[in-house]
Structure 1
Amino acid sequence: MSSEPVEEDSGLPGARPRRRLLREERLRQLLDEAWRLVRAEGTEALTLGRLAEAAGVTKPVVYDHFGTRQGLLAVLYREFDARQTARMDEALAASEATLSARATLIARCYVDCVLLQGREIPGVIAALAGSPELAAVKREYEAVFMEKCRRLLAPFAPQGRLGTAGLWAMLGAAESLSAAAAHGELGADAAQAELRDTIVAMVLRGGGAAS
């Protein structure tokens, strides 16, 4: 299929042709509108029909991109995860190889990414837990994140190993503190500092029981 845009005639004399969006452009429009809807109306309001209405397209267009509401939520979460991963990789390239520096990096990137997305991402994360299919998507990305943190932090742990229990505790703290910051219940600096201290403590005790 050609990736070139298709020009549509508006049918009005003297009017300029209206460009039909490429598939990837349409997807970007729909995702931007989905994030806006979640921010303005909450995750519960995000249905494919409501998204079609807000984006000014027909329902089949939205169904073609996402299939189901679960599919839409999964794409939103993947986009959030990709943004978080990119921020962490960029920060890691300029980070010192010390426990304090890496714990600070993880804490800052996690909290900042949630705050950048705003209140909508805690709602999306909560919605993921309501479906076994979406919970599996979330767990898949959580496993990748924790393994990345294990590689970054294990060299500073006793015997160079981190238990899985500690990594799950770290992730739970990251989600809770970030959500509190996103809802204005906690300052960003306080959330990052607490998460950093939690990570350092977890590493120094070896991350709890081994997997």
Structure 2
Amino acid sequence: MLDTALAIIRDEGADRLTLGHLAARAGISKPVAYDHFGTRSKLLIELYKSIDQAQAAALQAALTSGERSIEETIEVLASAYIHCYADTSGEWHAIGAALAGSEEKDAVYQELLDGYVQLFAAVLKPYVDLQQAELERRCIGLIGAGEALSAAMARGNCGEAEAADTFATLILGGLRTPFSCQSGGET
């Protein structure tokens, strides 16, 4: 049913995805669709999670093949993360827009982002001399940058390669040990 729902979004747009329309396209009765998902919002959440699981699996696969330098690891990490958005042909953003304002979506989205923060931290930890909490805070910022670059790419403001290169540069810069800032007007 999720594949059919995704096809509806691709072919007709997210606004056309209803449980009744899904049932008709999938060749099942409406009660089956309603029993399985309950509401349109829950269907959209399941689609959102399904796309994310596929993206996370692709990212994991890209990162588990061979030893790399930090630069090579960052390049793979950035390219795979950005490619996940390019690979969804806009469905991810369409589903997100259809769920806009939903408390369920906000909770699920935060859970997914937290998962990427943990993944980035685990992949980058061997290359940096940062405390875990500091590394995770930096990864939160990096994921935010990746999200913004992915959205810019989806809007047509840059290509996939440009977004990935910029993201890799930001990741590398974000892992460097910062200079110490002192308050009180000293420079």
Q: TM-score range by the shorter chain?
A: 0.7 to 0.9
Residue 113 of structure 1 aligns to a residue whose secondary structure is helix
Q: Which residue does the alignment assign to 2:20?
A: 49
Query: Which of 159, 162, 176 in structure 2 is aligned with 1:187?
Result: 159
1:119 has 2:90 as partner: yes
Aligned length: 177
Q: Which residue does the alignment assign to 2:75?
A: 104
CA contact (8 A) 2:75 2:168 kept: yes
Q: Which residue does the alignment assign to 1:171?
A: 143
Tell me, in whole angstroms, the C-alpha distance in 1 between the residues paired with 2:81 and 2:47.
Answer: 16
In the TM superposition, residue 130 of structure 1 has moved relative to its aligned partner by 2.0
1:131 has 2:102 as partner: yes
Query: Which of 142, 146, 165 in structure 1 is aligned with 2:113?
Result: 142
CA contact (8 A) 1:156 1:203 kept: no
Q: Which residue does the alignment assign to 2:184?
A: none
Residue 57 of structure 1 aligns to a residue whose secondary structure is coil
CA distance change for structure 1 residues 99 and 63 in 2, over 3 Å: closer, same or farther?
same
Q: Which runs of 5+ in 1 are unaligned?
A: 1-29, 207-211
Tell me, in whole angstroms, the C-alpha distance in 1 between the residues paired with 2:170 and 2:100.
Answer: 24
Q: Which has the higher contact order (CA 8 A, sep 6+)?
A: 2
Instruction: Give the TM-score taking structure 1 as reference length.
Output: 0.74
Tell me, in whole angstroms, the C-alpha distance in 2 between the residues paired with 1:157 and 1:91.
Answer: 20
Tell me, in whole angstroms, the C-alpha distance in 2 between the residues paired with 1:97 and 1:36.
Answer: 38
CA contact (8 A) 2:121 2:139 kept: yes
Moved over 6 A (4+): none
Residues 33-81 of structure 1, C-alpha deviations (whole Å, 9 max, x = no match):
2112222333233221222233333211211221111211121122112
Tell me whether 63-72 or 158-167 shows the greater mean CA deviation. Answer: 158-167
AA matched with 1:184: G
Tell me, in whole angstroms, the C-alpha distance in 1 between the residues paired with 2:106 and 2:123.
Answer: 26
CA contact (8 A) 1:38 1:45 kept: yes
Q: Which runs of 5+ in 2 are unaligned?
A: 179-187
CA distance change for structure 1 residues 164 and 155 in 2, over 3 Å: closer, same or farther?
same
CA distance change for structure 1 residues 60 and 142 in 2, over 3 Å: closer, same or farther?
same
In the TM superposition, residue 118 of structure 1 has moved relative to its aligned partner by 0.8
Q: Which residue does the alignment assign to 2:176?
A: 204
Report 1:11-50 matches (<5 A).
Answer: 30-50=1-21
1:83 has 2:54 as partner: yes
Residues 137-171 of structure 1, C-alpha deviations (whole Å, 9 max, x = no match):
12112212111111111333343543444322222
Give the structure with higher Rg (CA). 1
Tell me whether 161-170 or 82-91 shows the greater mean CA deviation. Answer: 161-170
